[in-house]
Chains A and B, each alone.
Chain A
Amino acid sequence: MALSGMRGLSVFISDIRNCQNKEQERLRVDKELGNIRTRFKNEKGLTPYEKKKYVWKMLYIYMLGYDVDFGHMEAVSLISAPKYPEKQVGYIVTSSLLNENHDFLRLAINTVRNDIIGRNETFQCLALTLVGNIGGREFAESLAPDVQKLLISSSCRPLVRKKAALCLLRLYRKNPDVVNVDGWSDRMAQLLDERDLGVLTSSMSLLVALVANNHEAYWSCLPKCVKALERLARNQDIPQEYTYYGIPSPWLQVKTMRALQYFPTIEDPNTRRSLFEVLQRILMGTDVVKNVNKNNASHAVLFEALALVMHLDAEKEMMSQCVALLGKFIAVREPNIRYLGLENMTRMLMVTDVQDIIKRHQAQIITSLKDPDISIRRRALDLLYGMCDVSNAKDIVEELLQYLSTADFAMREELSLKAAILAEKFAPDLSWYVDVILQLIDKAGDFVSDDIWFRVVQFVTNNEDLQPYAAVKAREYLDKPAIHETMVKVSAYILGEYSHLLARRPGCSPKEIFSIIHEKLPTVSTSTIPILLSTYAKILMHTQPSDPELQNQIWAIFRKYESCIDAEIQQRAVEYFALSSKGAALMDIMAEMPKFPERQSALIKKAEDTEADTAEQSALKLRAQQQTSNALVVTDQRPANGTPPVSELRLVKVPSMSNVDHSSADHGVTQENGTLTVVDPQPPEPSADLLSDLLGPLAIEGPPGSAVQSERNLVPGTEGVPNAEDALAIAPVGEQTNTVQPIGNIAERFQALGLKDSGVLYEDPYIQIGIKAEWRAHQGRLVLFLGNKNTSPLVSVQAVILPPSHLKMELSLVPDTIPPRAQVQCPLEVINLRPSRDVAVLDFSYQFGTHVNVKLRLPAVLNKFLQPVSVSAEEFFPQWRSLSGPPLKLQEVVRGVRPMSLAEMANLFNSFRLIVCPGLDPNANNLVASTTFYSESTRAMLCLIRIETDPADRTQLRMTVASGEPTLTFELKEFIKEQLVSIPTVSRGPAPPPPPPPPPTSAPAALSDPGAMLAGLLH
């Protein structure tokens, strides 16, 4: 036990261990702390050995959980000790006691820096370790360049370099600018050739952080990662000490596959093929073995490989192989594997279209929902939530409801939230949705947040068909003996609004409704009483002809609460009493609540908000954001009773606007708006909102006379300040074009779709337009996915294509109405007649409260009609020579180029299907690419491109483009130029002048300037 070599420390630890109880321990610790404190006070007599010992003791005491609020200075000062033993203690204790925000750390920066740039390797390691473990922003700013140097230094031992790699990672996380150094991506790529596995492991972690943030800059690392993976998984070409239970460093394999998941695709067919070979080997070659450690390690690799396969859009066959594997896993006994099987199935749902295969395992998954281990139950719940759609919503939600009664408290809130969301999202009919929510409240009232019942009220208010049904249900629940307070709130609210629809049914006379609700009043809290009072007022209003007995009863209640201590209750009581004495006028004032504007479900928002924070944004999430989301499901959903009544299409019911002038109508909008916040997730000021729910309609419906004025004065301050945005969202009158704000940047979406074939073209709060395209030679087939995000239909939907002259486009019929929460698909056929950069425009409009019209560029762009073809030197040079100058071969010096490395440029070209042919040009600063262009007039035509760059100035280059057709040469040259210079965002008009192919003026002009001279030199 004497390894420590410090007797004083060992004795102290033994003493602590011998303490009989917590009290004794505290006394012993206090004594020691006192001792240390005095010894530190007169520091002069302290030998380095003693200082070291005391600092260790401090750390030990700190570890026991006691506060150590002194001596930090001594720990930090040991860092500057000249000898290793003291220095080491200083570094270790400092990094355990202090965090990055501690002031003392600043004092040490200089010493740390000196140790890093100094010659002593051991000190370098200590310093790098400290910075790596607690380095904050200040460290990042002052030390990053030095750390970078160490990482790529050829004279440092691997020992130092692996620490430098992770240290840099830490600094990068604190301040991403530290590695935004020109050429760092090339350095990074070199690091991946490293033979030492320690350095490679650390560098791979660094790479993961870098590509998670910006994969564009690190394309050149991609093939290296694949190589590294091949080296490990296929060739097993690593030292014995790096195998773990016979598996070549599982950690490095996992990290490497993690890094690969941050690249959106792999363009190069060879790299892709090699990678899939390795992945296939992992998928097929992983067997279950007895040894736990070996089994875990091989499955760690397997699960990462699965994640990568999902990411790469593998072939159907491989995907179903993956699902089959996962299906096996979720049925095994071993809990870890089952857990991961469930987890990965959930992830799989997010990226690919395997819903149907996964559904086959539904029964198995439901079994896991009842597993004794909460970790497994959680995963099962997530998976059920993810796999739910219209077809199985009923089963799954009912399963969840059933489980709710027995679930542990830790899960009930999440469970009820998820059940509520699913019920809303996939309700085959809305009455079922109401059933589910009421059951939820009934079974787990305490765990049902306000959002949930606000939402059901919103649905009922917006769907007239639903109102009588909801009222019946609410009435039934009130008969139950002990109901949750939330149920009282919902029922009272719904019955207040709609109980008159039930008037003929037994037990539903106004009097009976009133008395059954009033029975609950003594049991509820003050926050519910205002709702009950509103309900009474509404019941009174609906009782026609009026019933004096009921009226007296209710009035008595109002009077009773007139002196209530709660201001909200008091105010309501006073006002309702006054209003209800007005007789017929009450009708107008107490009219039914208007419909709510559509908004994103607060519940879904809430579920999204709970996303965890992670060191690196997960690759999965990045990908999900780029994809046409599954947020909208293709459904054949209908409203409860066949076709929706016309009235449902209108957003806000605004009766008799004719006699109200415009300003007061606007006012009404604001007022109503106030009412809307009743269902808002966080009602800012409940009193004002709840008040205006009844007073709101007054402003609209009452004649603009003195009566109205006086009523308003009765409740000063309820008008509130109109919130411009909200007001617009529901503005019922006038044609307001495009008051709806798009979500996301339209230009960026268009850009992205230029490079890939599916994604979102446009999105706003009401609609999402996705696109999926297939291109074959000069023809294309696009499908527009029009998804209605609302709970009410979108109407007057119109889509017109404005094609440029070179494209023949035919859009199939677009329906006039898109049902609630449904998605319609509209195929669009495209034929390319001749080369042109002009862009087709989709003129899209719909009506939802307001008229919305957007003009969207369609990604039927030039590069879509390119087919990659790689040519050999024997094919290239004769062609290149035969196309001997304008107009078939055009040359231009381009300036203002976005600076990028040659590798990045090559990637950019490849992504546009201009395939770079390496090795054709002897000059390493040049780039040669080829492609085939297809159009009806040109047929397949080979195009050749050569780019000459100047390594000293990346902002300019010379470009030569050649093809057998003048227009094509010119258009392709201009197209490439646009991509290189900057991202064009300005929409081009649909009919620009025909492209005459005279050589662009810039070329001759260029000859007289330095750029042209440079070009001459390059030649």
Chain B
Amino acid sequence: IRFILLQNRQGKTRLAKYYIPLEESEKHKVEYEVHRLVVNRDPKFTNFVEFRTHKVIYRRYAGLFFSLCVDMTDNELAYLESIHLFVEILDHFFSNVCELDLVFNFHKVYLILDEFILAGELQETSKRAIIERMGELEKLE
């Protein structure tokens, strides 16, 4: 995974995590382009769309777009389902997650993501393991 973006329909970034070194200006450009690429796609279309020399795997949950940028040769469906797993984890953690949870607790979202994905690869695919880990961390604060 090269980067992960959470954006709403207006294009506001709710979370951005880059696993490749990019300059600031380049990041803004990427966020703008990815938003434009996914926002107008018909729900009946594929969840995959080519982005420069890579591929964006995206999924829409209510007004939020979760987008992963992966290599052309990566397994698309596996990444598509990892988005859903991430959403399930968020949902569990915030019990019925909505965009506002993610806005006001963006720092928690970063923490969860760091337990889920590291160095652009899946680190843990057990929902339970991640939720338990978050519990441990909360106690430390």
Contact = CB atoms under 8 A, between A and B. Distances in A.
Interface string B122-133: 111111110001
B39 interface: no
B18 A99 contact: yes
A440 B46 CA distance: 30
Interface residues of A, number: 79
B54 interface: yes
Contacts of B42: 372-373
Contacts of B81: 244, 250-251, 293, 296-297, 300
Interface of B: 12-19, 21-24, 28, 31, 41-42, 44-50, 53-54, 71-73, 75-78, 80-82, 84-85, 94, 100-101, 103-108, 110-111, 114, 118-129, 133, 137, 140-141
B48 A169 contact: no
A72 to B, nearest CB: 12
A898 to B, nearest CB: 32
A372 B42 CA distance: 9
Interface stretch (A590-598, A614-622, A964-972): A614-622
Nearest to A206: B121
Interface stretch (A129-137, A721-729, A741-749): A129-137
Contact of B127 (A92, A100, A162, A241): A241
17 contacts: A13-B104, A59-B107, A63-B14, A67-B24, A84-B140, A84-B141, A89-B107, A99-B18, A122-B137, A241-B128, A251-B122, A299-B77, A300-B81, A335-B44, A335-B45, A340-B76, A619-B73
Contact of B119 (A92, A170, A373): A170
A4 interface: yes
Interface in A581-639: 610, 612-616, 618-620
A201 B120 contact: no
Contacts of B28: 65
A592 to B, nearest CB: 43
Contacts of A336: 46-48, 76-77, 80
Contacts, number: 189
B77 A300 contact: yes
A242 B78 contact: no
Interface in A297-346: 297, 299-300, 303-304, 335-336, 338-340
Given A100-B21, A375-B45, A613 B53 contact: yes
Nearest to B44: A335
Give the most central of B12, B103, B118, B119: most A CB within 10 Å: B119
Interface in A1-41: 1, 3-5, 10, 13, 17
B84 A293 contact: yes
A242 B125 contact: yes
Contacts of B19: 133
A198 B121 CA distance: 12
B77 A335 contact: no
A159 B119 CA distance: 15
A60 B106 contact: yes
B49 A612 contact: no
Contacts of A375: 45-46, 48-50
Pairs A-B, 10 closest by C-beta atoms: A300-B77, A614-B71, A612-B53, A99-B21, A618-B73, A170-B119, A132-B119, A300-B78, A373-B45, A205-B121
Given A85-B141, A96-B17, A296 B123 contact: no
Contacts of A65: 13, 28, 31
A5 B104 CA distance: 10
Nearest to B45: A373
Contacts of A211: none
B118 A167 contact: yes
A669 B41 CA distance: 56
Given A1-B104, A612-B54, 12 more contacts: A56-B107, A85-B140, A92-B110, A129-B114, A133-B114, A166-B119, A197-B126, A250-B81, A251-B78, A297-B78, A612-B72, A614-B73
